[in-house]
Amino acid sequence: MSAAAESLPGSSDTPGISGQDAAQVPGRAAVQRYTVRVLIAAQVVAGIGMGSMLSSGGLLAEHLTGSQSLAGLATTLITLGAALAAVPLAALSRARGRRAGLGAGWLVAAAGALVVLAAARLGWYPPILLGMLLIGAATASNLQSRYAATDLAEPGARAGALSLVVWSATVGSVLGPNLSGPGEGVARVLGLPAPAGTFVFSAVAFVLGWAVVRTGLRPDPLLLAGSAGTAPARGRTDAEADAGAGVRRGFAARTGAAARQVAASPAALTGLGALVLAHAVMVSVMTMTPVHLAHHGASLSVIGFTISVHIAGMYGLSPLVGRATDRLGRVPVILLGQAVLVAGTLLAGTAGSRQWPVTAGLFLLGLGWSCATVAGSTLLSESVDAAHRPEVEGLSDTLMNLVGAAGGALSGAVLSGYGYGGLNAAAAVLVAPVSAFALYFVLRRR
């Protein structure tokens, strides 16, 4: 056996690693680099699936029902589905490895896309809601991919690895919506309503995302980390027992155990608070920005450009954010993110009818979200016991999506009652508790 193999648990009798995987372990650093590349490839492919149908889902629902409110419900169910899927997928990853957890999310989403296609062909609206709920599992897998990038990363490189996977979502966000035109041609061939054609691309993309992870993510980073002593070590027999026990304990018990882990760590609370509240700030303002711009006479191209700039702020600079997080520390970058969020809400909220300050404010909102997400995810992941880390990560994604859905739902009422400036002011208030707790955490450590 080579020195590299001896330095890592790579023999066929290593707990949690199959003989086939063991033969492919050349060294921790090499496996980590390969793992990040595979995760990026899967994110790009599956991200195209999400991007291609995000706008089409609401249009399809409106086409079948003639109701804008029901169209909004269909899109909201994607977020709800992501929230419901996050903890079960994380528990599956803990028991069987990242291949199983991430892959299951994309397979469930592919099934959801097929349900939507069948319902569109028959002209039935209720099954579309079920399909959109299932598609939310793809969002859960996309989010958990960033944590998979840290399973084998060294402490000084965790944020950088995580940020690369976050950045790869940019590709799907840009390419996916451009499939609407080809989707109309596919819909005509299959006899579907025009907005349904993109769901064909989504189904294919989700299956390809599953295939990339299933075939490429070998050795499994979470199982390898467990056998190396940085995550819960378990053999396949123990994993099966854990999976069965997890089903018996149920969703509430798994969530409770993860919550207790976070509550016991001030650092984990800081990371979780940054993740959840920054997401609420970003979603609540971003959701109503197109409405605000349209009311002030902005064209669709201007609205689309503003949202594109916002997405660029969210993902485009994440590798730089990751490097800063590794060099400057997790909490300083979280605090920087809160300051950028405040600057974004101030700029957008005082813009009035001017369009460029709104666009600039949305870019800052995206950048602040990136700082909070990259630094907060890294701090949360490394601040809890390794045996419960996947379920804690799933809990964080559940809370992010639930709070994001609530923020998006309430933002319309706030906009109607207090205007766009009032909406931005209300969102900025959410920065205060995270900033206060992060500062307290820094002072306590000193």
Concatenated DSSP letters of 305-360: HHHHHHHIIIIITHHHHHHHHHHH-HHHHHHHHHHHHHHHHHHHHT-TT-SHHHHH
Final residue belonging to a domain, choices 191, 224, 249: 249
Domain membership flag for residue 167: yes
d(CA 110, CA 252): 27
pLDDT band at 327 (very low <50, low <70, confident <90, very high): very high
- At 26 the three-state DSSP class reads coil
Q: How confident is the model at residue 259 (pLDDT cuts 50, 70, 90)?
A: confident
CB atoms within 10 A of CB 18: 16
Q: Which domain holds residue 338?
A: 264-446
CA distance 439 to 274: 12
pLDDT by residue (tens digit) across 271-291? Answer: 999 999 999 999 888 878 877
Instruction: List, for residues 31-60, the tens digit of each pLDDT value.
Output: 999 999 999 999 999 888 887 776 677 778
Quickly state the pLDDT bin for 11 (edges 50, 70, 90).
very low
Instruction: Report pTM.
Output: 0.76
Q: Which residues neighbour 224 within 8 Å (Cβ) at sequence distance 6 or greater?
A: 8, 9, 16, 17, 21, 25, 31, 151, 152
Q: CA torsion sign, 177 to 296 to 420 to 338?
A: positive
Query: 306 and 209 in one domain?
Result: no
On whether residue 432 sits in a domain, the answer given is yes
| Residue 69 sits in the same domain as residue 118 | yes
- Same domain? For 242 and 379 the reply is no
Check pLDDT > 80 for residue 230: no
413-438 confidence digits (pLDDT tens): 888 888 899 999 999 999 999 888 88
Domain end (from 249, 278, 297)? 249
Q: Quick check: bond before 9 cis, omega within 30?
A: no
Confidence at residue 195, expressed as pLDDT on a 0 to 100 scale:
85
Q: Taking the chain, what is the end-to-end CA distance rounded to the nearest angstrom?
A: 46
210 with 302, same domain: the answer is no
pLDDT at 114 over 90: yes
Domain count, the chain: 2
Report the CATH number that the domain containing residue 197 is assigned in CATH.
1.20.1250.20
Give CA 12 to chain center in angstroms. Answer: 34
Residue 427 and residue 338 share a domain: yes
Instruction: Calculate the average pLDDT of the chain.
Output: 82
- In a domain, residue 134? The reply is yes
Domain boundary residue, one of 249, 274, 295: 249
Residues 413 and 316 in one domain: yes
Domain check: are 280 and 233 in the same one? no
Domain-located, residue 146: yes
Same domain, 345 and 226: no
Q: Are residues 235 and 269 in the same domain?
A: no
Task: Say which residues have a Cβ less than 8 Å from residue 65's Cβ, sequence separation at least 6.
Answer: 71, 125
Question: In terms of domains, do 81 and 23 share one?
Answer: yes
The answer as to whether 331 is a domain residue is yes
Indicate if the pLDDT at residue 18 is higher than 60: no
Residue 87 clears pLDDT 80, i.e. is over it = yes
Q: 219 and 321 in one domain?
A: no
Considering the domain boundaries, does residue 258 fall inside one? Answer: no
pLDDT above 90 as % of the chain: 36
Same domain, 275 and 236: no
| Helices (H) then strands (E): counts for the chain | 18, 0
The token pair at 406 is: 């609530």
434 assigned to some structural domain: yes
The candidate with the shortest Cα–Cα distance to 364, out of 376, 377, 351, 383, is 351
pLDDT on residue 229? 52
* The pLDDT of residue 108: 97
pLDDT tens digits for range 132-184: 999 999 989 988 998 899 999 888 888 999 989 988 877 777 677 667 778 88
The answer to whether position 108 is within a domain reads yes
The whole-number pLDDT of residue 48 equals: 85
